[in-house]
């Protein structure tokens, strides 16, 4: 994939939060596999991480995006990636998309450079 910073394919369900009002982390439901793979990626190339620029996050799963209580599927994924040291801050995810691949088991997460100009502060 052209422009991909990093991608993971994970067997299992998307990470979730223990509590809808608190961030996800390595001990959150279904987070262990993504966290473990993200830490492995960071350790293999420590000069590239944490990412400090805006990125686009894509999730591909075999099922439609799950309905969550006050947050979407991207929030726990982004929070786990920050806990693993891949992202310096959750707010660096500037764009996101969720795609359904009915033949997929598990899910994949891809981070790529974001081509859009971030809003000025």
Specify the pLDDT at position 80: 98
This prediction's pTM: 0.90
Higher pLDDT, 114 or 57: 57
CA atoms within 13 A on the CB side of 91: 2
Specify the pLDDT at position 121: 44
- In the chain, the percentage of residues whose pLDDT exceeds 90 is 83
DSSP string over 78-107: HHHHHHTTSBS-GGGEEEEEEEE-TT-SSE
With H, G, I as helix, E, B as strand and everything else as coil, classify residue 3.
coil
Task: Walk me through the domains of the chain, giving residue ranges and CATH numbers.
Answer: 6-113 (3.30.1330)
């Amino acid at each position: 994939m052209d422009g991909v910073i990093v991608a993971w394919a994970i067997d299992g369900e998307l990470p979730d939060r223990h509590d809808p009002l608190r961030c996800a982390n390595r001990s959150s439901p279904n987070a262990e596999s993504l966290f473990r793979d993200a830490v492995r990626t960071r350790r293999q190339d420590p000069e590239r991480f944490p990412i400090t620029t805006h990125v686009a996050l894509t999730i591909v799963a075999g099922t439609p995006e799950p309905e969550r209580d006050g947050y979407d599927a991207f929030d726990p994924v982004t929070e786990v990636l920050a806990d693993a040291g891949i992202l310096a801050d959750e707010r660096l995810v500037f764009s996101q998309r969720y795609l359904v691949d009915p033949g997929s088991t598990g899910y994949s997460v891809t981070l790529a450079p974001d081509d859009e100009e971030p809003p000025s502060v």
